[in-house]
Structure 1
């Protein structure tokens, strides 16, 4: 069965695709409330196993408070890999700095990569699957399919 679910939070959009992929499209500014909503989606989806994320950030920005919330809240055990599509030089630098800080703190062992297109991102996921022996199997998104994300205080 192919379960799909879509969420809109702020100007951003997320779409779950079984077996284990969340596609997120960021448009416009990303604020703390958006990060909280995204993490509510992550938490709902990762109850059974880690997931892959393809995040299109080509037309977005993220403010300092949102970056800080992101880096303090994200958990490596949630992911097999995260691929950012359309990142400019500044976005790549910010992401690499966050990942390096998490890695040096001993909190990160997840592939974070950059792609120019979603097709390239899918190729990266295939490579990660082969390298890590990740078998695609459906994740029950029941909880995520029933709940809408809400910003957390």
Structure 2
């Protein structure tokens, strides 16, 4: 029996704005094409994701994250990172946490090399503890070949998240010079 190629994850999630990438359940464009096109949106459960080229993923987490949603989120993050690492800005105001299986799955499957940095805003103590726990577990399970952990910062508002993002980008640009 001949093996089948896994379907692109980007072609399986719902695209609220269009179906540009989906034909017969297959992705029309490679993930790298996402970096050169305009913004793209995805919905996983009640959570929304918006990629803005060249390197920014907006995330809005709502409700409690199940294991099934965690699998879909990790798949989305992984596929976006195939083109290049990116920043994540995540609004946590409506997040209610994760079930135990979702935490375990994320901690075992997220890779720091996918992200340039993660900024979470509108967070509560629950969110900070949850994220730090997942990140610590991911760091303990990463291979020795992986680069060090991604920068993660908690700020109070979207505006402060954008300010911090600009600072990180300015530092990165200054280091290239």
TM-score band w.r.t. shorter chain: 0.7 to 0.9
- Where does structure 2 lack aligned partners over 5 or more consecutive residues? 1-35
TM-score, length of structure 1 as denominator length? 0.78
Question: Within 5 Å, which residues of 2 pair with 1:66-145?
Answer: 66-103=102-139, 108-133=148-173
- Give me the whole-angstrom Cα distance separating, in 1, the residues matched to 2:172 and 2:125: 28
Q: Which has the larger radius of gyration?
A: 2
Cα root mean square deviation, aligned: 2.1
How many residue pairs match? The answer is 135
- Where does structure 1 lack aligned partners over 5 or more consecutive residues? 136-153
Deviation digits for residues 94-150 of structure 1 (CA, Å, limit 9, x no counterpart): 212332344456664210111111111111112222333489xxxxxxxxxxxxxxx
TM-score, length of structure 2 as denominator length? 0.68
Q: Relative to structure 2, which stretch is displaced further, 63-72 or 98-107? A: 98-107
Q: Relative to structure 2, which stretch is displaced further, 101-110 or 82-91? A: 101-110
- Give me the whole-angstrom Cα distance separating, in 2, the residues matched to 1:130 and 1:70: 30
